[in-house]
């Protein structure tokens, strides 16, 4: 049967939250793959950087037989989440995690970086959707800077 979603469009998503006062993490199980008996989750974090600023990161975690595998790019996630609907659920969960993390951490400055270099337009559109979540939560998002094909956005809280 393959991937079976844990929730559908419009359903309320329940985020597991953890923090140690410096690092903030959310995780939400978005589905189960009954072919390989794995749970698929979206994990997002605000990770502390030198100087006290934060970096927003997110990835897809696949848990099978007690082993977590991290998937960081679209090529990997397309193998795990083969249909568009499942990938949209992952994006919806990542976008929702932004508000949860900001409620917990309330950082002044956050950076977000592409994981790879020279990302396709479709990946950049997803980053822009995530940036919109920061804007909705009172952050100004600077235009990205580029270094060796990787893009970096700086977000600063204004409210």
| 67-114 pLDDT, tens digit each | 999 999 888 888 888 889 999 999 999 999 999 999 999 999 999 999
Domains of the chain: 3-157 (3.40.630)
Among 43, 30, 42, 21, which Cα is nearest to 3's? 30
> What whole-number distance in Å separates Cα of residue 40 and Cα of residue 62?
5
Residue 9: pLDDT over 80: no
| 11-34 pLDDT, tens digit each | 888 999 999 999 999 999 999 988
> What whole-number distance in Å separates Cα of residue 157 and Cα of residue 146?
22
Residue 1: the pLDDT is 67
Specify the pTM: 0.92
């Amino acid at each position: 049967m393959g991937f079976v979603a844990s929730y559908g469009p419009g359903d309320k998503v329940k985020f597991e939250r953890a923090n140690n006062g410096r690092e903030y993490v959310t995780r939400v199980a978005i589905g189960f793959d009954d072919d390989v008996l794995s749970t698929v989750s979206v994990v997002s974090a605000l990770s502390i950087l030198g100087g006290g600023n934060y970096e927003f990161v997110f990835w897809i975690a696949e848990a099978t037989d007690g082993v977590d595998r991290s998937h960081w790019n679209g090529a990997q996630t397309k193998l795990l989440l083969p249909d568009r609907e499942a990938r949209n659920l992952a994006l919806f969960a990542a976008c929702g995690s932004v508000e949860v993390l900001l409620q917990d951490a309330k950082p002044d400055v956050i950076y977000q970086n592409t994981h790879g270099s020279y990302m396709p337009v479709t990946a950049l559109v997803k980053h822009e959707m995530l940036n919109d979540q920061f804007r909705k939560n009172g952050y100004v998002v600077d235009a990205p800077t580029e270094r060796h094909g990787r893009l970096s956005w700086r977000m600063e809280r204004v409210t």
